[in-house]
Structure 1
């Protein structure tokens, strides 16, 4: 079939060629080139009217910087590492994070404005309502800039989760495919927002979505532990290999016949043949065999390894005949290395998260209200997501020491979820939250929630381990007595290991969980710094030395990039030779210090270098990328 758009494009380009012959002045040539570029640009994908924002214009004449609000610092953890709350337009914060955290963020969760047309999306200080003809274009312009930077911040193992509803879901999916890569899309998960939603026509609207993308590596997801009730047997290896099932014979007659796999096996003084018949074995050796005929599944070398390592069982019948079986363990299997040597590989059986996991009520906005109630904020914020949702998403990443970023932080749920996740699984994740201070949200809601989570949060956190799982069906009901007996045994065996053992019925399955309860009575101890975005004007004062002014903001950049507090004795910021000399002559200060962050313009004398080396002080050069581009722009580099 004819590509009509292509033909029209070719006709118009031909017409332009004719016009070029008639009009060859510079202005006309430039105009023709621009028209041809517009005609030949990509024609499939998302197209919108690109809009600029006030913050875009500000970046042309101003340099964003961070200033610490020191009275809001919280230092309650013995760890030297800090979390960060960044107040200001998130585009400015992202612009600076691109300098300090390029390729360093492991998990991003964002809950951007849904653009409902009901005062939830503000563009250039004005709410975008449903009558705005450029409503979607403004939202896409707004999101596009931020997603491009978000992509650059993600590590190669990074994951980004984005909440959205039907108002912009279709547009966001196409935008994210373009920026993050269609091949990096993992899944779009529906989430139940509330039990009873707003009715639109014949339907009650009860859900939104979470889009999931990776930066590059897809093997970064923490799978859920899986218990298979077919694995019932135990041996001396149960602690490391788990239980095993015995449903596979070593010999098969459904395999394509191979003479190399048809050989006698001597085990415990007895000789075995595939199929158990010596006469038929002799016939096969003469070439009288079917296409699929009796043979062993394992070669002799693999059998010897399996036998020596407890993978082989001889099962005998009452008539004295015997057959060889292989054990299939829950958490172990035999593998072969590059040199064809066999080894035992240990890996716990897991199962992926269901695509409809988030439709459970525990992830709904009803829970979010309860989460906010502890902080007295339930009436202050309307669109918060529940802690359980974000905690579950964060814990999807294998790295328990992940750096977590949320640049639409709102009420601060992501910060609380990160800290609770650490308590539950012993992780050491750190968070960076960005939000504006419209109506005092950053100071009065986000910061208050983080402050109270760290200083006085109270809760009982339950961590569970799946001990038994079986499908709830007729077979289970027929064997009810055996199942109940098995559950009683599980409870007795795990009495000391868990605070309690619960039996539940969910998703047509019977499950037994071991549960440990950890009480938090006076907050989840952590460290937090509060930075505000500000500006240094590029061109206002011709006598001003911009580099001198920017040097006042270097400490915040160093602290943010390294997650530290330069006010402690462990670290020292040195931006002048006088500062360096004062430091190295104060031996008591040098002895307490572990790292110095030094301007690249400072040259160490032999004596200064020796003092630092003798006291094992690590030297870190302050990177030029903090403000080098801006200084080149104003002619100071």
Structure 2
């Protein structure tokens, strides 16, 4: 079979060679080279008109930093790690997370804009319209840079879940295949609503999708289960009033493959003989007798049955598949917000907590969870709620802009309002900038300005608070000597900015009091200092 595209491409490249021989001016040769590069670029996959964003261009002349809003700090969880909300464009937040969480995030869940052309996707401070000829290209450019950063943040066994609907479903799949390679795991179908509302010339849409990708083949999926159906629950109707609770009858007949150890007539303790089923019993005679002696056999029916107790179930129900029609629908998310805030319509189409809990259940119980399209904060609540449900120790990082005060008035307020039910610690950071280049004399160096905001990066990195008591940030040797001689306590952490020489006496004190010395990593600021010529 001939590759017609390749033949056509080779003819055009051959013609370019002829042009090269006829022209020797630099401008023409550069143009020919660019044409050849374009001809030999990737020929399969997603192709779009790449666009830049203002927020991306901000990074050309500025360095993103974090500043804490101290009055929004919440201390409710005793001896617990901190969770974080980062207010600002999520591209800038991801750049900062790249410094502190590169290869450290266990699970990412995002619910990005669906680009329906209904004021849901704001690009460069303007909502994209349905008739924008570059609407898909702008959305892809927007998602491409963020998903590439997301991949760098994931652990080698990390997972990412992405919610989407039909508008960008096909584009998202191709984009993720490029970024995550051959690491697509599943596409889940979520029953979003039961509406019978129809659109002209279309059928009713009741579903959305959740894509699951991994960073590598090293991932492991924990089991998650659908709740038992009501009809199954009703089967647990019997109760002997012996404290074990309700039970159902579970057949003891073997479904297939009879064997000599399970082929016998059973004689119960009353002397009644239970004839061997056609394919034998599910267990040996001794095990069956042990069940009877423990009052776990039901002897009042025509066939022999085991008592299967509701309280002894190993899981809630059937292991999940790719059809998530057992979860609450989208209206549940709005009702959850209404219950928390006491009023309706404060956020459009929030996801229900149970949907995100389903995603989190698949990862480990100590996961660091990131959502960089945090919106109303459902992911944060899902993390805390699931920790209570299964005893996990998950923490969250939520990133969102503050358009219409959403971050402070909704995302943060939601986390604050659920504190009585799900107490935890929280810090609130904002993204800001310091200029990379300045012509002003006697101004602070870039290093000095970055050091002024190093505290937030350390707290984010170690999920702690630099309180000056148990976690102490030290800037120079003079301060280090003072801390060692005056304030040294047992079992504290000292975060040291620069290389500090320790005397043998100081080293002895540190070892004696079990002090942990942590050097502030160079990668917090190395790249920027090299760029501006300070390194």
* TM-score of the two chains, using structure 2 as the length reference: 0.83
Stretches of structure 1 lacking an aligned partner (at least 5 in a row): 230-242, 253-273, 275-311, 330-347, 455-521
Q: How much has 1:593 moved relative to structure 2? A: 4.9
Which residue does the alignment assign to 2:433? 535
Structure 2 residue 350 is the aligned partner of structure 1 residue 452: no
Corresponding residue to 1:385 among 328, 338, 351: 351
| C-alpha contact 1:377 1:445 (8 A) present in aligned 2 | no
Give the structure 2 partner of residue 353 of structure 1: 320
CA contact (8 A) 1:250 1:326 kept: no
Aligned to 1:224: 225
Aligned equivalents of 1:365 and 1:567: distance in 2? 41
Residue 389 of structure 1: how far off its partner (Å): 1.0
- Take 1:248 and 1:131, find their aligned partners in 2: how far apart are those partners? 61
Q: 1:609 is matched with which residue?
A: 507
What is the distance in 2 between the residues matched to 1:353 and 1:198?
30
Cα distance in 2, alignment partners of residues 140 and 158 from structure 1: 23
Q: Which of 521, 525, 530 is residue 623 of structure 1 equivalent to?
A: 521
Q: Which residue pairs with 1:435 in the alignment? A: 400
**Structure number with higher strand proportion:** 1
- Separation in 2, partners of 1:166, 1:187: 13
Residue in 2 that maps onto 1:262:
none
> How does 1:173-252 map onto structure 2 within 5 Å?
173-197=173-197, 199-216=199-216, 217-224=218-225, 247=254
The CA distance in 1 between the partners of 2:468 and 2:379, in whole Å, is: 27
Aligned to 2:291: none
Cα offset, 1:185, TM superposition: 3.2
Q: Work out the CA distance in 1 between the residues paired with 2:30 and 2:365.
A: 55
CA contact (8 A) 1:571 1:593 kept: no
How far off is 1:201 after superposition?
Answer: 2.1
Secondary structure in structure 2 of the residue aligned to 1:353: coil
Give per-residue Cα distances to partners, 1:447-478, cap 9 Å, x unaligned: 11111011xxxxxxxxxxxxxxxxxxxxxxxx
Q: Structure 2 vs 1, CA of residues 326 and 593 (structure 1 numbering), >3 Å: closer, same or farther?
A: closer
Question: Could you tell me how far apart the structure 2 residues matched to 1:571 and 1:244 are?
Answer: 60
Structure 2, unpaired ranges of 5+: 234-249, 267-272, 288-313
Within the candidate set 405, 418, 426, 2:370 is matched to: 405
**What is the alpha-carbon distance in structure 2 between the residues aligned to residue 377 and residue 559 of structure 1?**
35
Choose 1 or 2 for highest CA Rg.
1
In structure 2, C-alpha distance between the alignment counterparts of 1:250 and 1:198, rounded to whole Å: 52
- TM-score normalised over the length of structure 1: 0.70
Q: Give, in angstroms, the shift of residue 248 of structure 1.
A: 8.1
Question: Contact 1:364–1:386 (CA<8 Å) still a contact in 2?
Answer: yes
CA deviation after TM superposition for structure 1 residue 321, in Å = 12
In the TM superposition, what are the counterparts of 1:573-584 in structure 2 within 5 Å? 573-584=473-484
**Which stretch of the first structure deviates more once superposed, 150-159 or 527-536?**
150-159
Q: Give the conservation status (yes or no) of the 8 Å contact 2:224–2:358.
A: no
Q: Is 1:553 equivalent to 2:453 in the alignment?
A: yes
Higher RCO, 1 vs 2 (CA within 8 Å, ≥6 residues apart): 2
| 64-73 vs 197-206, greater mean Cα deviation | 197-206
Query: How far is the alpha carbon of 1:249 from its aligned partner?
Result: 8.7
Query: Does the 8 A contact of 1:249 with 1:326 survive in 2?
Result: no
SS of the counterpart of 2:427?
Answer: strand
Change (3 A) 1:29 1:412: same
| Distance (Å, rounded) in 2 between the aligned partners of 1:198 and 1:566 | 56
Could you tell me how far 1:575 is from its partner in structure 2? 1.8
2:78 corresponds in structure 1 to 78
Cα RMSD (Å): 2.8
What SS does the aligned partner of 1:149 have?
A: helix
How many aligned positions are there?
A: 477
Whether the 8 Å contact between 2:187 and 2:209 is mirrored in structure 1 is no
- Residue 182 of structure 1, CA deviation: 3.5
Q: Is contact 1:64-1:535 (8 Å) kept?
A: yes
